[in-house]
Structure 1
Amino acid sequence: MKLGIVGLPNVGKSTLFNAITSAGAESANYPFCTIEPNVGVVSVPDERLDVLEKMYSSHKKVPTAIEFFDIAGLVRGASKGEGLGNKFLSHIREVEAIVHVVRCFEDENITHVEGNIDPIRDIEIIDLELILADLDMVTKRISRVEKQAKSDKVLLKELEYLKKALEALENSKPVRSVEFTEEEIKYNKIYNFLTNKPVLYAANISEEDIVNEKENNHLTSLLEYAKKEGSEVITICGKVEAEISELDQEEKEMFLEELGLKESGLDKLIKSSYKLLGLISFLTAGEKEVRAWTIKEGWKAPQAAGRIHTDFEKGFIKAAIITYEDLVECGSLAVAKDKGLLRLEGKDYVMKDGDVVEFRFNV
């Protein structure tokens, strides 16, 4: 899973990235300090693995992971080459979803590229640049497809898809706002529009606002904007996340408790990212290792088996499955089997989050 962290310069992108990945992206009080997209791999916290590790006396615990790409700040005119231009728009095409960091804190010591704090304006600046980039691409493509469609009628369906995208973009709306038919959706992968990627807003607030979020007018306006758009907002304090990243688990829990927080910004970000991309995790457990595997919600058992190894999918026979809750309640797989809670599922079984699985295959 790849997520791109975007936002205007000096909104706290790199500070957040450093905190959640400990990857050391350069952070400074001036635009464009991040010139190449830094990549950090973050383990997804999953308490279920800790429980299974003890149950099976496993030698190793392997959580699933998320890749975060810290993409340098965009400015007005990026689609026309301003700032660092199209180079960074191309980096956004490589990710599956966008985490748009929006500055919702006042600090006279940290300059803002636009001169003052206005989260909605900041969002619209970046949205416009992405729309303009997509508009340029779709306009050129329509011109070519229209000519080709005169001799190849199969391209008429593709042309219809492109015209729907064009209409939205010309009205300053993202491609993700268009309701495509099931047949048209297949073209999404081909064109990979920037504005067709799902977006999660990360409101960067001050430490003082953590317990008084409702008093932050910038955050209130962002929440109202996102609600109309149908997007989710999570609040993160970059400074607090930086402190948390240097603590061990016990210290982290105590620190969060002192702040009145149930979870860190990273935990919120991961959970919301999973939801945004429609992801779930299934688990495998044994003495050798316990491991979490990320798959798309709705995947069937053979597809899930293929995440472990392609041979598992090719030679899939059955999947021996028990829910995590049932397994923990029984205390062992042997007891679960005696109670008839371990079941064999075939090729049409749709995987559920928390399924503990052993795949049976023959190649």
Structure 2
Amino acid sequence: MKLGIVGLPNVGKSTLFNAITSAGAEASNYPFCTIEPNVGVVSVPDERLSVLSKMFNSAKITPATVEFFDIAGLVRGASKGEGLGNTFLSHIREVNAIVHVVRCFEDDNIVHVDGSVDPIRDIETIELELVLSDLEMLERHKTKTERNARNDKSLRPYLELVGKVKENLEAGKMVRAMDLTDDERKELRGLGLLTDKPVIYVANVSEDDVSDSEGNVHVKSLKEYADRFDCEVVTICARIEAEVAELPEEEKGEFLAELGLAESGLDRLVRAGYRLLGLISFLTAGEKESRAWTIKRGYRAPQAAGTIHTDFERGFIKAQVVAYDALIRCGSLAEAKAGGLVRMEGKDYVMQDGDVVEFRFNV
């Protein structure tokens, strides 16, 4: 899962990304084009792994990971090249979803680029740049498709689709909010349209509002806006996230509890990303390793096996599956087998979140 962090200057985007980088398993440069944005790789929170590790006496635990990309340079006029806009807009095409950091805190010491705090105005500023960038790309694509359609009549329905999408964009409508069929969306996917990317809005609040943001008028307006477009809002204090990231693992829970928080904002953001993209995790466990693997909801057993190794999918025979909850109730794999809770599933089995699996294959 690749999430691109965007936001206007001075909204807390860099602070949040630095916290992610500190919390991550690694931080490095990830080459996209001519500029190399930073990437922070963080673990997906999954308490099931530590439980399985004890049960199987695993030598190590390997959680699933999420990559956060710091997409800099987005300012008004980005679609026309302002602030290296064209370069950084191209970086957004590489991610699965957009994390849009929105300033929802007042601070006279941090000047807002537009002079005042207004989440909806900030969102519309950036989303206008995404729309303009998509329009420019569609115009070029439409011209090319029209040329090809002169000799290939089968392209005409697709040309009509491109025209319809272009008209909606010109009216200021995001592709993700357009009334399109699944087949139409599939046809558009190869274009990498920015406004087709799913979005999570991050309301960056002050330390005073982190445990109870209901009274924050900016968060309220942001949530009302997000509800109109079926988008999720995660409330985070980037400064606190930076502090949490620097703490030893054993102290993080206590620090968060003192603030009245059950988990870090980063953990909530990762979970929101999973929900947004329709992802689940299956688990493997043994003496060498207990590990979580990320797949799309609806994957069948061979596809899931292929995330471990392509040979597993190519030579798939069966999958030995037990639900995590059932395994924990039994206390061991042997007891789960004795209770008839371990199943042998074939190629048509649809994987479920928390399945503990051992794949049988032959190549």
Q: Same fold (TM over 0.5)?
A: yes
2:134 counterpart residue number: 134
- 1:139 is displaced (CA, Å) by 1.3
Range with bigger deviation, 256-265 or 123-132: 256-265
1:158 counterpart residue number: 158
CA distance in 2, matches of 1:14, 1:138: 31
Answer whether contact 1:312 1:361 (CA < 8 A) is retained.
yes
Kindly indicate whether residue 52 of structure 2 is the aligned counterpart of residue 41 of structure 1: no
- 1:183 is displaced (CA, Å) by 2.8
2:31 counterpart residue number: none
CA distance in 2, matches of 1:189, 1:12: 31
1:261 counterpart residue number: 261
Answer whether contact 2:73 2:85 (CA < 8 A) is retained.
no
**Unaligned residue ranges in structure 1 (runs of 5+):** 26-34
- 1:189 is displaced (CA, Å) by 2.7
1:354 counterpart residue number: 354
1:209 counterpart residue number: 209
Deviations along 1:14-60, whole A, 9 cap, x unmatched? 100111221799xxxxxxxxx84211111112100000000000011
Instruction: Please show how residues 1-363 of structure 1 align to structure 2 within 5 Å.
Output: 1-22=1-22, 36-363=36-363
**Coordinate RMSD, CA, aligned:** 1.4
Deviations along 1:248-275, whole A, 9 cap, x unmatched? 2331111111111111101100100000
Report the TM-score, using the length of structure 2 for normalisation. 0.95
Answer whether contact 2:201 2:234 (CA < 8 A) is retained.
yes
Alignment identity in percent? Answer: 66
- Matched letter for residue 272 of structure 1: A
Answer whether contact 1:283 1:356 (CA < 8 A) is retained.
yes
- 1:160 is displaced (CA, Å) by 2.5
CA distance in 2, matches of 1:201, 1:45: 20
CA distance in 1, matches of 2:52, 2:267: 20
Report SS of the residue matched to 1:283.
strand
Equivalenced residue count is: 354
Deviations along 1:223-252, whole A, 9 cap, x unmatched? 111111111101000111111111123311
- Matched letter for residue 297 of structure 1: R
Range with bigger deviation, 123-132 or 67-76: 67-76
CA distance in 2, matches of 1:185, 1:171: 19
Range with bigger deviation, 284-293 or 153-162: 153-162
CA distance in 2, matches of 1:283, 1:270: 18
Report SS of the residue matched to 1:154.
helix
CA distance in 1, matches of 2:242, 2:140: 44
- 1:167 is displaced (CA, Å) by 2.0
- Matched letter for residue 286 of structure 1: G
